[in-house]
Structures are given as structure tokens and as C-alpha cells.
Copies of this chain bind each other. A is one copy, B any other.
Amino acid sequence: MGTNEVVGHSEQRWDAIAKVKGQAQFTGDFPFKNLLYGKILRSTIAHGRVESYDISEAEKVPGVVKILLPEDLPQNKYSTAGHPWTLIPEKQDIRDRTILTRDVRVYGDDIGAVIAKSELAAIKALEKIKVTYKEYPVYITPQQAMADDARRIHEERDNVLASSKVGFGDVDKSMAEADYIIRENLSTSVQQHVHMENQIAVAYQDADQRWTCVSSTQIPHICRRIIAQAVGVSWSKIRVKKPFIGGGFGNKQDAVVEPLVVAMSMACNGQPVQLALTREESIAYTRTRHAIDYNFAIGVKKDGTITAIDCDVISNQGGYASHGHAIGGKGGTFINAIYKMDSLRYTAKTVYTNIATAGAMRAYGMPQVVFALETVMDDAADKIGMDPIDFRMMNRRPDGFYNAMSNVKQINFKVGECLEKGRKEFEWDKKMAASKQYKTGVKRRGLGVAAFSFGTAVYPFGLEVAGARLILMPDGCFKLMLGSTEIGQGADTALSQMAAEAIGVPFKNIIRDSFTDTDIDPYDTGAYASRQSYVTGFAVKEAAEKIKAKILTRAAKMYDVRTEYIDIIDGNIIYMPDGERLATLEDIAMSSYFDMKDGKTITAYSSVNIHQTTYASGCTLAEVEVDMETGRVKLLSIMNVHDSGKIINPLIANGQVEGGMAMSIGYGLSEGIRYSKEGRPLNNNLLDYKLPTTMDLPKLEHAFVETDDPLGPFGNKSLGENPTVSPAPAIRNAVKNAIGIGINTLPLSPENVYEHIQAQQKGDVQNV
């Protein structure tokens, strides 16, 4: 009652027209008077210490305003990681960096900065700065960095920055009970986010002498805190404003440029300074997906029962801690979430090296662990001769499973339904049969599947708060204020639909802009962990219910009826006993603004702290054709099936799924930053970093097992990151199915596949 069913409809994104017409303003679009341009002086070694700078020639470049060395800026140690703050010191992120540094830990480290009146002058000056270094050994891999004689990358801390062990049961005993133990080594690549809009921020001093940072950030409120910590001011002295954003995928969940640009403005008496990374800088010197090495074993009985899983993880952190161990350490819970086993052991280490700092990236560790799990699962199914879908079906956790490792009951957990729907809609059995004729010759075909479980938001691991404010306008529209972050994913449209639904008005009655401002917008930690439609959704729902109650109270008084007899339906106040319209919402709104006697404007605010989560799941099915002569993998067809509860906006959900699939296909087939042994990134551009284009992709098929999740604010659960989890392992398994070789290193580039084929033909690898 009172609903006009806005949720579930493919409403057009509120910003669609603006983006087509060019009216959506991104950080770089805002004109500033007397804008200065900052550029970062980057180290040309990966490990060492700057011994001297010679800036004399650089200072002479016309237009140069300031050249900053590490000692010119605040020396506070901070972390760039965009986690919600915690009051528990041992849970706080590792503060292992200063804004600029003489201690070089990665190639391209921030060892200085130039501020000039033009970008060109800044670049010219950079070129004229002479730096001498003392060089240290470079560690590309965790194994190098963990060697006994390895030098500490951070003096105050071991190169193993964290280690952990979780699980249950007696793994050794359970392994002994297995008929087969499949143990494999796997490794994933250094993927880059490659968001359309590079990192960019502008900082200036405000009229009240505080500091504003306009930034393309996923986490305005968290960013405020990080900047304040880095520059050493009280937190409210910083104001972060977020305009439209051209994607982030987790890279903008780190405050990579913001502390420096604020410090630059501070060094220039508050004049506005812009710091915009180039594509090359963004690829090579920001954050990446952690490359993780797995030693992964599954004990399995002939009947398909899994007795034990034993997983040892070594995560390559790169030069700075950033999100650190949170990524490598989290996999155990999700292995337990999806499959049955008697015992589980999950040990993990996160290790500093001298490659680019790894941080948050869409699905936050899940693509790695699911690649490992689904690879070994698939090989186990092969070992006992079971259909890989059947094997997963028989071992899947049932709906309602209590996951003791996260203390969460997995209500409404539909991975089985996803596998079944996928098998049917992908025509798995028909395609599998058809592919049998392509197991010889140059072009070989095969099918693969991979499944996954996925959390929603960060509870119970972290704080989950969100806020929403609604303001009734005189004409019956509502301004919706949020601290959550629209980064291109459509969050603002989905959250506006939720507000409209909960109040009882058409979608067009909700006014939203995409400009988040930490001074005035409700506190919300931002865009990550597929949390916003869930956690912020609760805040929107609560604020909507509050403002609705206030409106109905006022209407009841105005029309002398009992509050419980009236409701808001499609923007009208309806007297429910006879269904007649008592008034329009505008009538109530106008009275609230302009009634001489008791005109008082109506607003509502909610701040929610969510102590629950809900597990989503899904799977990918893929068919590939492998060219035995070139190693090239052609993706013939692919389908994702998602168990994400209620789909708030099918159109936007489709976009999320297709984008996520493309990202995981790139992960599976082509992407990865390569490093020279000196730690220099070798493919820091869009020509050499092989991002799939639309030309490289088949039709991205997908389906939903749509449910009304009882734990979701509107029946929904996570979806934003989920699509990027399972395509890569499904492709890996399809390649194995095609050519009989299980490749355990990502990406399955032509080079990688070709080498495996060559090795097999030479007898160097064992056929599965």
C-alpha cells in the first residue's frame, strides 16, 4: 500500500541527458581563476634513497612557482587506504608513508613536486631536476622480499606486513580421508582499474581559511580524514567535494593525489592547484589488484565429497600497505561460504615488494581466491570424472547455511539456482556435447564454469554507516541528499528510486545531484564493497519513512482525518477507506512552507549503522576456442548468472554486469602490468596494457535469479562487484576443457597459452 512500484523499473538514469549533452561536470571541467598545476617528481629507481636533488635549472623554467622536496611538506605518517576509520588502534590501517619521500620504495615514487602556472612548465621543470640515489636491491616478488637477507622496505616493519590463519577442523586428518588430493600452485596478475577518468584533484583555501579538495574520489568523507591526517590539521578543517566521476573501481578508494594537492595549495598560500595524473601515471603509479600466489589443495572422495581445503596465500602488496592484508586475508570466509568441507585451513601472508602498491579493486580479493578455488575445484571434478556443474551443485552450501567464520546465516543463498539457470540458459549440455568434435586440430573448443559467493558491504569486518536527508520542496518534489558516491555506476538513480518508492511518489519527484560535499552531505563512507544500494539503501528507506510520516501527520491535521486512514500514492494523499484523493502532495508542501499559522518546512534525516549483511552468489559459464598454433583464446560465448536479490533498476544492473564481465575477461585473457627486474613497469599505457575493447568481446549474456531478499532494504543485495569475480576462472576452465592443459597463471594471454602448449608438447607439463 502506498507504493507506486518505482523500484524494479528501468528508470532512465537521472544524469543520462546531461552526460549526452556534455553538462555533467567532472573535476577537470571546473574552471578556476589563477589555477596552478602540480606535477609529481617520480623516482626512476624502485628501491633506494634520494641522496641529492639539484633543482637549480628547474627553478629557472618560466612559469615555475614552487618546487617541493619531501622536507618542505608535512612529515605525518598516514595511510592512503579508504577504509572507514576505527577507534581501535590495532585495526587501523598501517601508516607507512609521508606525502613526499626520499625513501624510494616503488618505481615512480613521489619524491618531489613542481607547481607551475601551466602544466607544460611543470613538465619542463620536472625534466630539469637532477636526482642522485643510493640504490638498494629490488624485490619484485614476495619470495624475494621474504628472503632471509632481504633488506626491509620500511625500516620500522618486517617485509611481511601481516599474516593470518583461519579455518576449522583438522585439515591433515581430513586430507588423509580423501581419495584424491589435488594440490596446485596458482598465481594471479597485477591488474589495473583503467577507469575512464584519471585521478585528478584541485585544492584551494576556502573563505573561512579551511581547505577544500575537489576530487574524483569514491570516498569523499574518508578522503577528508586521510587528507587531515596527512597534512596534520583537525579533520573539519578539510572539505572534500566530489563532482561527476568517470569510474573508480576501487582505485579511487585510496587517497592517492588528495593529500599532496592540498599540501601544494598550502605551500602556495591557498591558491588553487590542480594535480591530474596522466594515463601513464594512473596505470603504473597508483593502485593495482594484488597479485597473489596460492598453494591450494582440495581433498576429495570418489563420490565427490570434499573432505578438506587447504589454502596458503602470499599476497604481493607492493611498496606501501594501502588496504594491505584485508584483501589477501579475506578468502577463507568465502571458500567456506560456498562449498561444504569437513576441514578448512586458510593461511595468508601479505608482503611488501618494490612493485606498484596494490589496493582495492572491484571485488576486493575475490577474483583471486575464486580463480584459485574454482581452478582447483574444476580439476578435482575432472579427477573424479564428474561434470563440473554437478560437482559444484553437490558441494554447494545450502540456502540458510550458518557461516561460523563470519557469524552470518546465509539466508536466501541461491548459488545452486544460478548454476541450474546457467546450465539451462547457456545450453551447457548441448554445447558441451557439440564441443567434443573440436578436441583435436588447430582450433579446439571447450566449456568452463566457475561459481562464487560474495558479501554485501563490510559488516561484520568493518563499520557500516550511511546517511540520507530528504527535503520536501514547495511543489511536492524531494531533494535527496546523500554522502554516498555516484561514480558512474548509477547509484544515485537507484537510491532515488528507493526514495520515491518508500515515499510513494513518481521517480521524477526525487531531485538528486551528484555533487557530494563533506561539509553538508550526510556521513557515508562511500562507494566500495557493493555496499551503497544496501547500506545507503537502508538510510534512504529510513529517511523516506520519516518524511512520509511527517507529511501524513500534517495532512491528517489539515483534512481532519486519522493518520492511519491516509497514504501517499503516486504523489497524492489518498483517503484509503474509499480510495479518493484528499489532496496533492503539493497542497501539503505549500502549506508547510507558507501557512501563516503553522508553516514549518518538512525534512528528514537518517543515519544508520547496519549490523547485518547478506550473501550474494553467482556463476559464469563460458565457451572458448583455442588456437593451438598461436595460443590465442577466442571467447565464443559467456554468461553470468547472478543471485543478487531484487534488481532495483534492470537497465543499470545490466550495465554493471556487462562491465564487470568485461573486466574479468580482460583479467582472464590479457591484462597485467609487467615489471623489469629493476622494478620498472613495462606497459604503462593503453597500447601495451591489453585492456579488452568491445571488439574483443562476445555478446555478454547474463541472467538473474531474482529474489526478494528479506535482509535487503528493498530486497536487494550486492551486485556492483560480483560480475567481475567468476568469468576469469570459467575461461581458464574452458581452456583446460578445450586443450587439456590447466593453466594456473593469469592472464591466459596467447604467449602464456602458447608456452603451456609448447611445454606440454615437450612433455614438460602433466596433462590433467
Contacts and interface: CB of A to CB of B under 8 A. Distances in A.
Given A14-B208, A23-B207, A474-B236, A87 B605 contact: no
Interface in A456-515: 463, 465, 467, 471, 473-475, 477, 479, 481, 511-514
When A and B form their complex, which 3 residue pairs have the shortest distance between CB atoms, in order from nearest? Answer: A18-B207, A31-B31, A236-B473
Contacts of A270: 21, 23
Interface in A594-613: 594-603, 605, 607-609, 611
Given A23-B206, A597-B609, 12 more contacts: A15-B207, A23-B205, A84-B594, A85-B594, A207-B514, A235-B473, A236-B474, A481-B520, A598-B609, A600-B608, A600-B609, A603-B607
Interface string A215-251: 0000000000100000000111000000010000000
Contacts of A599: 463, 465, 609
A225 B594 CA distance: 12
Nearest to A86: B594
Interface of A: 14-15, 17-18, 21, 23-25, 29, 31-33, 84-87, 205-210, 225, 234-236, 244, 270, 463, 465, 467, 471, 473-475, 477, 479, 481, 511-514, 519-520, 522-523, 590-591, 593-603, 605, 607-609, 611
Contact of A235 (B475, B595, B601): B475
Contacts of A225: 474
A interface, over-half SS: loop
Contact of A18 (B14, B33, B209, B591): B209
29 contacts: A18-B206, A18-B207, A18-B209, A21-B270, A23-B205, A29-B33, A84-B594, A86-B596, A87-B590, A87-B591, A207-B244, A208-B511, A208-B512, A208-B513, A210-B511, A235-B473, A236-B473, A236-B511, A463-B594, A463-B596, A463-B599, A465-B593, A467-B601, A513-B519, A522-B601, A523-B593, A598-B609, A600-B607, A603-B607
Contacts of A598: 609
A27 to B, nearest CB: 13
A512 B209 CA distance: 11
Nearest to A596: B463
A608 B598 CA distance: 9
Nearest to A524: B601
A205 to B, nearest CB: 6
A524 to B, nearest CB: 9
Contacts of A207: 15, 18, 23-25, 244, 513-514
A402 B225 CA distance: 56
A207 B474 CA distance: 21
Contacts of A600: 465, 607-609
Contacts of A596: 86, 463
Contact of A607 (B210, B473, B591, B601): B601
A477 B513 contact: no
B209 A593 contact: no
Contacts of A514: 207
A520 B597 CA distance: 24
Nearest to A212: B513
Given A31-B33, A600-B608, A520 B87 contact: no
A15 B205 CA distance: 12
A17 to B, nearest CB: 6
A85 B467 CA distance: 32
Nearest to A32: B31
Report the copy number of this chain in the oligomer: 2
B603 A605 contact: yes
A47 to B, nearest CB: 36
A495 B599 CA distance: 22
Contacts of A595: 87
A87 B225 CA distance: 46
Contacts of A597: 609, 611
Contacts of A590: 87
A511 B520 contact: no
A605 B522 CA distance: 13
Contacts of A85: 593-594
Contacts of A607: 600-603
B235 A474 contact: yes
A485 to B, nearest CB: 15
Given A594-B84, A599-B463, A520 B520 contact: yes
Nearest to A208: B14
Contacts of A23: 205-207, 270
A601 B465 contact: yes
A274 to B, nearest CB: 13
A209 B205 CA distance: 31
A624 to B, nearest CB: 42
Given A594-B87, A601-B607, A18 B208 contact: yes
Contact of A479 (B29, B209, B520, B611): B520
A77 B607 CA distance: 44
Nearest to A521: B520
Nearest to A24: B207
Contacts of A234: 475, 477
Nearest to A606: B600
Contacts of A15: 207-208
A469 to B, nearest CB: 8
A602 B465 CA distance: 12
A603 B481 CA distance: 14
A63 B514 CA distance: 33
B208 A477 contact: no
Contacts of A520: 471, 479, 481, 520
Nearest to A473: B236
A244 B23 CA distance: 25
A209 B16 CA distance: 10
Nearest to A224: B474
Contacts of A25: 207
Give the one of A25, A477, A479, A520 with max B CB within 10 A. Answer: A520
A605 B605 contact: yes
Nearest to A509: B236
Contacts of A513: 206-208, 519
Contacts of A467: 601
A25 B212 CA distance: 14
A737 B207 CA distance: 49
Nearest to A608: B600
Contacts of A244: 207
A202 to B, nearest CB: 12
Given A24-B207, A32-B31, A513-B207, A475 B594 contact: no
Contacts of A32: 31
Contacts of A31: 31-33
Contacts of A519: 471, 479, 511, 513
A69 B426 CA distance: 63
Nearest to A460: B596
B511 A601 contact: no
